[in-house]
Amino acid sequence: MNDLLVDATWLESHRDDVVVADVRWSATGGAAEAERAFEAGHIPGAVFFDVDRDLAGVPFVEGPGRHPLPDPERFATALASRGIGRDDLVIAYDDGGGSVAARLWWLLDAVGRPCALLDGGLSAWPGPRGSGPATPRPAATADVRLWPEQRIVDADGVAEALRSGDLVLDARVGERYRGETEPIDPVAGHIPGARSAPFPNVLGADGRFRSPQELRDRFEALGVAEDAVPIAYCGSGVTASLDVFALKLAGFGDARLYEGSWSDWVHDPSRPVATGAEP
């Protein structure tokens, strides 16, 4: 393993030494659908997190956008209730190429707690799967840590970064970036000046992460420089975490996350919107 990514073989032999976290989410079915999927089959011993319920605050109330960061105390309580202590290594997975599990990775990494992703997600797990609800773990002590300001940016920060020539990456799929379709938010398009960096592109055809060098080459082609601190956004700040993860895997350090992302940007009708393939 490395600090960011493990394979299924490593996890099989170290499962008793880590906390395995299943992080699945349904944009249409909510927590109930994701939890049904968990109960139908998961890595044995895994705990379950739902994005809406556990990894986000109340939309447009507790923060910007559809998935604002959760209150630090509530997040710490969610971890503790699943038996995750301050020094426990969490291995997170999903069934979406890491695009949802990366949200838990980002939250933990941002506050200095150890977490890695399972390369290939649930489909890479070769052993038998558990079923039914998660097996309770002894509760841990809640360790409350505030979200670091240097890892997050708001809409004004994005606008200022673009004026300063900083790189902003849009992690949504290309058709949403171009404004050809918008299945969730009320306005289609992208932030003027942002470059398209679809999160699925960090994966190979086998559903596993591209090598660090391949990722580095791809991000450099988008304009990411060695000393740059790019900003990543998506629809609501969830799948952009995968671009942040991939940038770190490629050796670029900590990118910033636009917390509210597109759902926050278009919440203010005065903000400009672009369409088409160009930034």
CA-nearest of 47, 33, 130, 40 to 93 is 47
Collapsed DSSP state (helix, strand, coil) of residue 22: strand
Distance CA 154, CA 122 (A): 33
Distance CA 111, CA 64 (A): 20
Collapsed DSSP state (helix, strand, coil) of residue 64: coil
CB within 8 A of 224, min separation 6: which ones? 167, 230, 247, 252
- Which one of the listed residues 194, 234, 238, 249 is annotated catalytic? 234
Contact (Cβ atoms closer than 8 angstroms) between residue 7 and residue 117: no
Q: Which amino acid is at 145?
A: R
Alpha helices in the chain (DSSP H): 8-14, 30-40, 51-54, 72-81, 101-110, 155-163, 174-177, 212-221, 240-249, 261-265
Contact (Cβ atoms closer than 8 angstroms) between residue 100 and residue 239: yes
115 is a catalytic site residue = no
Token pair in block for residue 57: 């605050």
**What are the residue numbers of the active site?**
234
